[in-house]
A and B are shown apart, each in its own frame.
Chain A
Amino acid sequence: MSGHQTYQPQNAFMKWMERRLPIGGLIYSSFVVYPTPRNLNYWWTFGGILSFMLAAQIVTGIVLAMHYTPHVDHAFNSVEHIMRDVNYGWLIRYLHANGASMFFLAVYIHMFRGMYYGSYKEPREVLWILGVILYLLMMATGFMGYVLPWGQMSFWAATVITNLFSAIPVVGEAIVSWLWGGYAVGNPTLNRFYSLHYLLPFVIAGVVVLHVWALHVVGQNNPTGIDPKSDKDTVAFTPYATIKDAFGLSCFLLLFAWFVFYMPNYLGHADNYIPANPAVTPTHIVPEWYYLPFYAILRAIPDKLGGVIALGASIVILAFLPWLDTSRVRSANYRPLYRQFFWIFVAVCIGLGWLGAKPAEGGYVIAARILTIYYFAHFIIILPLLGWIEKTKPLPNSISESILAPGKAGG
């Protein structure tokens, strides 16, 4: 955008630095004068919240790694050692464990926001796909982290999830043995999960850089879904977006703190305070809440390979969203039909999550099958058709008009 002044280093050191490594200029242009649409609402603060949660998970995780022992004979006790003996160990572990849940809560809101406002549409396809990759990396990281305390749920989560690969014809068993480093989940498995759980957050950080880079190339979407046309449509990132992100983050952290201090085990499972026992499977095993919708899809299919394919497809299909949604209008504010289907889809996802926590029997399985069919139908039937049949509302001429005009459309 024109009109924003370029970076002029004030002190001698920054002038010296700028001629050698223009990092001050990069930060200034990306996070100070960077033009953001002036109508961004609080749903747009979750990118910043997610960045904070990634940093928080890395900091607490590095501290936990200083006290944790990745060995089947010591892992469980070393976690209890962190909880009881290490100074503030209980706080740091509860921050890390609940931080994972908060991270997923934020990413789900972030993803649904992108779906509601059509943030994946041209020219933001690569930005969206990088987001899907980040989500997959988060799932892998969260799963491996859950294995590390080596409780009953850890062990059986590791067993069930690695066995998903045994559904692959011919080479499945060899792949599973390769993942385990043995004939069953054991010490080699715990060791490699620990190594990868430490590595993946930094891979995530790397992809986040690409995600933000792609964002800054195409610019942020906004609640109207139309591109900024003039300086009147945007405000500078600092102070406007900075303070809004900071306020949103503070509110989010209050929720986080509430979980950490008042119900730190609410999102966990009591069974994980029983040391891993390869001879006994807990009678009711479920994954962490953030995987439940996918778990429900897995169990809804009465065939092993089919279930695994459906589970994988339910995530991979997100990457194709930019092409499955055929409507040219981005924001659901101007798409009366899509807006309703969006909320039905949200309800279906929550419903699948609820069913994922229920035993796989009777009516629960039937309901999970219906919702699984709807989940896929949303992507491969409803979205492509809506683009053809939906009569969208007229778009405003500009972002500023949508805010300042008295009879604003959409709302």
Chain B
Amino acid sequence: MTATSAEPTRRDFLYIATGTVGAIGAAATLVPLVSQMNPDAGTIAAGAPIEVDLGPIQEGQVVKVFWRGKPIFINHRTKKEIEEAKGVNVASLPDPQPDSARVKQGKDQWQVLIGICTHLGCIPIAHSGSYNGYFCPCHGSVYDTSGRIRSGPAPTNLPLPPYEFLSDTKIRIG
């Protein structure tokens, strides 16, 4: 090898410069092409918080409302359901969580959760399954009256949406 051939030439510089600019350009072009698939401005705007009046919901009744295209279950739990939810050895659960962490303090009767099975996204059926909580018909996941996973392929408890009590009978979800 001669000294001249080892030295960078103008052609080497052009190869590297062209390749670099091309690679950066290709990567930059990918950004909008990938980003356009994400939720658009209209979808995000339509995902604004909603208010729900709890007044008409009877004890023992489960009401479904939609927020961001997801069904939200509002369960006005009975005394028996609350006791069942509380009377569980938390350590024995697949996804350990006490019932108190899944309701707002002092509002034990109101349980608000996202009614989407954490396995593959089906809608569980309320007041069914061996724990009288929720049962997913797709692949047989069973949740208790607190929405905690008890058996079946679902990995975690039914998730809770962000929500707060505006008054004793009104909540805002989102």
Residues of B within 8 A of A186 (CB): 43, 69
Which residue of A163, A179, A184 contacts B69 across the interface (Cβ within 8 Å)? Answer: A184
* Chain A residues positioned under 8 Å from B120 (CB to CB): 159-160, 163-164, 166, 304
**Cross-chain contact B139 with A360 (CB below 8 angstroms):** yes
Nearest chain A CB to B94's CB is how many angstroms away? 10
Q: How far is the CB of B116 from chain A (nearest CB, A)?
A: 8
CA distance A185 to B38 in the complex (A): 12
Q: Is the CB of B155 within 8 A of A305?
A: yes
Distance of B85 from chain A, by nearest CB (Å): 24
Q: How far is the CA of A281 from the CA of B39 in the complex (A)?
A: 24
Q: Whole-angstrom distance between the alpha carbons of A65 and B106 in the complex?
A: 56
User: Which A236-294 residues have a C-beta within 8 angstroms of B?
Assistant: 278-285
Quick check: B155 and A281 within 8 Å, CB to CB?
Answer: no
Number of A-B contacts (CB under 8 A): 87
Q: Which of B40, B125, B136, B137 contacts A284 (CB 8 A)?
A: B137
Question: Which residue among A156, A182, A359 has the maximum number of chain B CB atoms within 10 Å of its CB?
Answer: A182
Q: When chains A and B are docked, how far (Å) is the Cα of A41 from the Cα of B57? A: 69
Interchain CB contact under 8 A, B121 and A282: no
- The answer to whether A181 and B38 touch (CB under 8 A), given A156-B122, A281-B122, A281-B137, is yes
Chain A interface extent, by class: 35 or more
- Report A127-176 residues with CB < 8 Å from chain B CB: 156, 159-160, 162-164, 166
A285–B153 CA distance with the chains assembled, in angstroms: 16
Of A181, A278, A305, A359, which one neighbours B43 at CB under 8 angstroms? A181
B interface, how many residues as a size bin? Answer: 20 to 34
Contact of B39 among A156, A163, A183 (CB under 8 A): A183
For A302, list chain B residues within 8 Å (CB): 153
Q: Is the CB of B123 within 8 A of A177?
A: no
**A192 is an interface residue with CB less than 8 A from chain B:** yes
Task: Please give me the residue from chain B that is nearest to A161 by CB atom.
Answer: B120
Bound-state CA distance A304–B123 (Å) is: 17
Q: Shortest beta-carbon distance, A210 to chain B, in Å?
A: 24
Rounded to whole Å, the gap between the CB of B72 and the closest CB of chain A is 11
B69–A188 contact, CB under 8 A? no
> CB < 8 Å: which of A160, A183, A307 contacts B70?
A183
Majority-rule SS of A interface residues: loop
Interface centre among B40, B70, B120 (most CB of A within 10 A): B120
**Are B68 and A183 interface neighbours, CB within 8 A?**
yes
Q: How far is the CA of A301 from the CA of B153 in the complex (A)?
A: 8
Check B66 against A278 for contact (C-beta < 8 Å). yes
Inter-subunit contact A159/B69 (CB<8 Å): no
- Least CB separation from A284: chain B residue: B137
Q: Does residue B138 face the partner (Cβ distance < 8 Å to A)?
A: yes
- Residue in contact with A181 in the complex, picked from B37, B121, B125, CB distance below 8 Å: B37
Tell me if A390 counts as interface (CB < 8 A to partner B).
no
Q: Mark B117-157, 1 if CB is under 8 A from A, else 0.
A: 01111110100000000001111100000000000011100
Residues in chain A near residue B47, CB distance under 8 A:
183
Given contacts A184-B68, A285-B138, A360-B139, contact A280 B123 (CB under 8 A): yes
Tell me which residues across on chain B come within 8 A of A188, comparing CB atoms: 39-40, 43
In the bound complex, residues from chain A placing their C-beta under 8 Å from that of B86 are: none
Q: How far is the CA of A361 from the CA of B141 in the complex (A)?
A: 10
Which chain A residue shows the least CB distance to B39? A182
Query: Is there contact, CB below 8 Å, between A160 and B39?
Result: no
Q: A159-B121, A184-B70, A188-B43 are in contact. Are A281 and B138 (CB under 8 A)?
A: yes
- Bound together, the chains give a CA A179 to CA B38 distance in angstroms of 7
Q: B121 and A279: CB pair below 8 A?
A: no
User: What is the chain B residue whose CB lies nearest that of A162?
Assistant: B121
Q: From residue A38, how far is it (CB to closest CB) to chain B in Å?
A: 50
B151's closest neighbor in chain A, by CB? A302
Nearest CB in chain B: distance from A351 CB, A:
19
Q: Is A299 an interface residue (CB 8 A)?
A: yes
**Most B C-beta atoms less than 10 A away, residue of A163, A177, A178, A359:** A163
**Closest 5 A-B residue pairs measured CB to CB?**
A184-B69, A183-B68, A163-B121, A281-B122, A163-B120
- Seen from chain A, the residues whose Cβ lies within 8 Å of a Cβ on chain B are 156, 159-160, 162-164, 166, 177-186, 188, 192, 278-285, 299, 301-305, 307, 359-361
CB-defined A-B contacts under 8 Å, sample of 12: A159-B120, A160-B138, A181-B39, A185-B69, A281-B123, A282-B137, A284-B137, A285-B122, A301-B153, A302-B153, A303-B153, A359-B140
Residues of B participating in the A interface, judged by any CB pair closer than 8 Å: 34, 37-40, 43, 47, 64, 66, 68-71, 118-123, 125, 136-140, 153-155
Q: A159-B122, A188-B40, A304-B155 are in contact. List 8 more A-B contacts (CB 8 A).
A: A160-B122, A166-B121, A177-B38, A181-B38, A182-B69, A279-B64, A281-B122, A303-B155
